[in-house]
Structure 1
């Protein structure tokens, strides 16, 4: 285990009379290719204690909905199957009206020698870690399994992708970091399962759909048709990507098309919920595109920062890995140092804030309310199409997401209102919302990680401007708009 990934959250000593090491699975919801689980295993063996894996699901998280709940639960069913294969003592707890979650984790922590959890830097997880660490008598150890490189290696956040890209490449040229065990075997975990029984009320529902109907969600968002959560589905999607799509990634990823023919991976929700890990995607992509002949020596030692040639001889592979590593890490690193409970426009660069002070009173040609945005009721067919895709499918084409964000800035009274609307719509409907990259993707629309652009424009000032007219000139939109039309025709209204 790389010590750079480990953080003791409360500096308490091992609790000598405890019965087990508890792995509190929050963000990396899988066993294989998981540094946090691997550390919990090593600690259990070192202390000669039983290992218990606890994965819980409350109902009161922000933007809760049947869509998000079902996706997480499908992953938990996969985890139960994998735990049975490995002989792992896996305790799942699903909150319901008759089975409240309050105090459950604190109670099972009483018998723990130590607790290991996931050091995810966003949403409710940092606060949950801090609160539990103050209530328990044993160490709470958080493990970073977010990225290929431990995020602690970076002394500060990066202001632009081109800067972080150089940092990352230089670190890789020192040698690849040690990866987590890619696939566990039952014999690897012998002696860690002593049959301690979970308290009453633990376990997965026998009928998932009936259980979901029994819950009250704040947001009324149904699961998207054809979308399934869990590790089995994630690995299937990865296989499809590396065998059928990645060769067209460089030239085809920006063209708006139906998802089945778009040259993108579709793995973002599965990465967000931890059903798959970045290390296994990295290895699968390089093995597939180099016919199994890739090794670290094949990385370019000539020019760190070279997006087109660094990882592989395949340009499409390099572009995909740059998105997977550089652009993903820049968002995670943005949150990593301070782990703020909430991100807002105060986190933007000074040049952007100066722009917005100058242009805050600019006249907006169109103004829309949250309700109009949410129901895709604007004058712009491309914006309406992007919003419809988000509502119906829980995803949005990458290029359309940028246009979508820029237009909300242009069509609201204030920049703060625009941010609030984008945060709400993205986190309510997107499977990969509530993530560091969700927030930095939204803030990119406001100028984060970008540079000043000229000429200066109304509302935006020197922040990059995008228009639907230029998008129509740049791309053939017929296929995408036909796909959105089919989505709308398959139900009685935009909102199911």
Structure 2
């Protein structure tokens, strides 16, 4: 388990089970966590380990031989995968297209003496169905809808039972040093993290929590999604799912979200015959009779897949500005010497010390909670482009802040979300502006006119422990 850290609704685990049965071999599930990954912190480490505790519980229920390993100063991880794979007949892992995982998988393949299978569990549709990355969501939406109309993709087993896995556990013991910390707080205090980022209050990792979040969203917020998701507000009030961190770390699968959301719509339990055949690309009506359900699934599938597909076709080498559309590159070359009214350093951005109260509020939300309202995230990214000396510096700052603080950072969608601010998946906008040229421009003044920001700013004031009077 590298990216999709769960047993149920997991294509990679299902394939490993089928392979073990076919070869009459023992199945060993390894989930490890090194401490030296980029932007490591107590925030991210705790979230992942909380998921590992859930996996240990589930493995015990299913009778699975689950080997967990969490690196510490006295228990280094170097060479551990090569060591435990010496007697393997095959290794199955996740085919995740971003961050350090593609490189890790390639390195492992070069060190072992058995077959390695990387399985795509990234979306509803296998990413290999698409010949190329899409240049815009409207294009990918049509591709996706046409693929659905050819036939629903095969789902993996959603819930495993102990009897499904009989005979796969031969009780081979893991090497010394495996297992989860008994006291997580003490363990985390003993690690040296590069970044001092504490866990966000009230946020817990793991599959149990992910399923609770999904259930709450479906029952309380789903039917408000179309009209309520865009308004910046506290998470309790805004009609967003809160599932992004759990999807990123694989504590929940996209297939089970898809099915749960559709079953909660009009007409009860959903089946593929209810797909709209009228017009592929119709965001309002394709999946369900509920417009809110359709809007949510368009975000979950189209907008999520466009980021994954962008990385999938050339993984993982899109973490820069080189792959922006030609019109954007021409645009930036023309405007690279434009004067900037404000220039801020990384330190000033990180401490939310700019002249703009909305930008400061968005950055404060990111630091305090590990997430940010999506509309505010777009404004946040656009302003950093406007307030730095170069486009490359802006990208570097946005990458650092997002990956350091966001639970769902280090993800294809977090990178393409940043790159969208630079014009990726977008079109030229007019009139041409300073610094941006024809790249879409956003302002705090227009945001204040578009939304009632008082409650959002009051929420941020509560997070930061400041008086409401600071946010008039």
The normalised TM-score by structure 1 is 0.94
1:318 matches 2:265 = no
Identify the match of residue 105 of structure 1 among 81, 98, 102.
Answer: 81
Identify the match of residue 178 of structure 2 among 184, 188, 202.
Answer: 202
Deviations 1:36-94 (A, max 9, x none): 00000000000001100000000000000000000000000000000000000000011
Q: 1:186 Cα deviation (Å)?
A: 0.2
CA distance, structure 2, for counterparts of residue 490 and residue 78 of structure 1: 36
1:477 matches 2:453 = yes
Q: 1:347 Cα deviation (Å)?
A: 1.0
Deviations 1:194-248 (A, max 9, x none): 1000000000000011100000000110000000000000000000000000110
CA distance, structure 2, for counterparts of residue 213 and residue 87 of structure 1: 32
Unaligned runs of 5+ in 2: 468-472
Q: 1:256 Cα deviation (Å)?
A: 0.3
Q: 1:341 Cα deviation (Å)?
A: 4.3
Identify the match of residue 230 of structure 2 among 241, 254, 268.
Answer: 254
Identify the match of residue 167 of structure 1 among 143, 146, 150.
Answer: 143
CA distance, structure 1, for counterparts of residue 49 and residue 403 of structure 2: 18
Q: Determine helix, strand or coil for the equivalent of 2:428.
A: coil
CA distance, structure 1, for counterparts of residue 25 and residue 290 of structure 2: 47
The normalised TM-score by structure 2 is 0.98
Aligned match of 2:393: 417
Q: 1:340 Cα deviation (Å)?
A: 2.3
Identify the match of residue 313 of structure 2 among 330, 337, 348.
Answer: 337
CA distance, structure 2, for counterparts of residue 480 and residue 44 of structure 1: 52
CA RMSD, Structure 1 to Structure 2 (Å): 0.9
Aligned match of 1:392: 368
CA distance, structure 2, for counterparts of residue 211 and residue 396 of structure 1: 29
Aligned match of 1:457: 433
1:429 matches 2:412 = no
Identify the match of residue 218 of structure 2 among 242, 246, 255.
Answer: 242
Aligned match of 1:264: 240
1:80 matches 2:59 = no
The answer to whether the Cα contact below 8 Å between 1:127 and 1:341 also exists between their aligned partners in 2 is no
Deviations 1:455-491 (A, max 9, x none): 0000000000000000000000011000000001089
The answer to whether the Cα contact below 8 Å between 1:335 and 1:436 also exists between their aligned partners in 2 is yes
Q: 1:173 Cα deviation (Å)?
A: 0.3
Aligned match of 2:470: none
The residue correspondences of 1:132-211 to structure 2 (distance < 5 A) are 132-211=108-187
Q: Determine helix, strand or coil for the equivalent of 1:101.
A: coil
Q: 1:377 Cα deviation (Å)?
A: 0.1
CA distance, structure 2, for counterparts of residue 230 and residue 293 of structure 1: 27
Identify the match of residue 290 of structure 1 among 243, 258, 266.
Answer: 266
Q: 1:342 Cα deviation (Å)?
A: 5.3
Identify the match of residue 352 of structure 2 among 366, 376, 380.
Answer: 376
CA distance, structure 2, for counterparts of residue 462 and residue 479 of structure 1: 33
Unaligned runs of 5+ in 1: 1-24, 492-496
Question: 4+ runs of 1 displaced by more than 3 Å?
Answer: none
> How many residues align structurally?
467
The residue correspondences of 1:211-222 to structure 2 (distance < 5 A) are 211-222=187-198
The answer to whether the Cα contact below 8 Å between 2:68 and 2:179 also exists between their aligned partners in 1 is yes
The answer to whether the Cα contact below 8 Å between 1:123 and 1:341 also exists between their aligned partners in 2 is no
Q: 1:292 Cα deviation (Å)?
A: 2.5
